[in-house]
Amino acid sequence: MPESRTLFGPALETALVKVDRAIAEFRAGRPVLLRDGDTLALAVSAELADAELVQRLDQLAAGDGHLVLSAPRLRRLGAKARSEAGIFVLPAIDLERIETLALKLDSRMDAPVAPASALDEAALELARLSLVLPAAILVPVDAAEIAGEPLVEVGITAIGGYRAEQAASLHIVGRAPVPLEGAPETEFVVFRGGEGLRDQVAIIVGNPDLTGAVPVRLHSACLTGDLFGSLKCDCGDQLRETVQWMAENDGGVLLYLDQEGRGNGIANKMRAYKLQSQGWDTYDADEVLGFDLDQRHFDFAATMLKQLGVTRVVALTNNPQKIGAIEAAGLEVAASQRVLGRPTAHNVRYLASKRDRAGHFIDMDALMARAAPKD
């Protein structure tokens, strides 16, 4: 089929553009019109809906609205062995009940849960892409009811394919030498695309031999650890020590990926930190908020490496998920190497949780020996 064109080139209303606009609307707390064939529904972020909007939705829903929640949140509410999202029917779209089911810590199920539809799943994915809590209010509508309303409409197929489209659209938009302390021969390469509307950065340290197995670290951005030296994690240590190691060992590539809080975003990370300060385990805190163990995706990281000419890697990581993602994207992992941070009184439980619950290759004895005072 020939490409639709406008005065400015390819049609502006591509699937990718529609999802971009839908993300902006959803993140702002405004309704988005989802389409699955001939079926339409308005979707609104449960955490961002205010009393006035809920009242309007209730009038429109006439008893047919529902709240869709992720499987982790349903488990926290008391659902048994659920591995998929589900819905609560909302005879009345009541803000207090929505907040109780979607947001409050001590909530329990107050009604049966029905299976989520494809529209519901798309609404949750839109919430994740928007970096808000994975909980959405849906109101089925027909075209006549919302005629003339300035709504962004997007198909569920476009939402489902958005991440892959973003990875395919990755391209380099700028690069320059940036000398670093301890690694003066370093180049920053900025890519556009890949994850939401955010840029990603590859840091090439030294002069790695791109024809061989290149030392590579996929490093997810951590504002608190990387920039401020938080004692709650080992991210800042891993970042700086990886760059130093590469500078001292023939170079490598560090991908600095904008995936704060295991892909949940900085706001949800702070919510999880608040729960951790009250005694919750890091993964339990995320589950309370409705998130799985890890929301990150690494397919676009592999695309970045391929565009830099890297085909074989030595993976500098403790995370088996990253190794699997690199291999699944068609790159060869010739070997892997652990990246140790410093254990502190504030992060030992966190490191043990990553080892025990997410399968990270973390030798706690080696870490503690590293932290022991030297004679």
Residue 21's CB is within 10 A of a number of other CB atoms, namely 15
Which tokens is 262 given?
């295991």
Q: Is 11 exposed, middle or buried (0-12, 13-18, 19+ CB in 10 A)?
A: exposed
Alpha-carbon distance of 200 to 213, in angstroms, equals 22
Helix, strand, coil share (%) of the chain residues, nearest 5: 40, 25, 40
Q: Which of 271, 286, 296, 299 is catalytic?
A: 296
Look up 294 and say whether it is catalytic: yes
Q: Are 43 and 138 in contact (CB under 8 A)?
A: yes
Cβ count near 73 (within 10 Å): 26
- List, as one string, the DSSP characters of 57-77: HHHHHTT-EEEEE-HHHHHHH
Which one is catalytic: 294, 338, 349, 363?
294
Residues 276 and 254: their CA atoms lie apart, in Å, by 29
Token pair for residue 127? 């919430």
Q: In what order do the strands lie in the sheet with 312-316?
A: 171-177, 186-195, 198-205, 252-257, 213-220, 312-316, 332-337
The whole-angstrom separation of Cα 299 and Cα 160 is 15
Q: Are 80 and 36 in contact (CB under 8 A)?
A: no
Per DSSP, the three-state class of 101 is helix
Q: What angle do CA 262, 265, 267 make, to 5 degrees?
A: 125
Parallel, antiparallel, or unpaired: how do β-strands 86-90 and 65-69 relate? antiparallel
Q: Give the separation between CA 311 and CA 56, rounded to whole angstroms.
A: 54
How far are the Cα atoms of 64, 92, 101 from residue 59, in angstroms, in the given order? 10, 9, 21
User: Hey, which residues are catalytic here?
Assistant: 294, 296
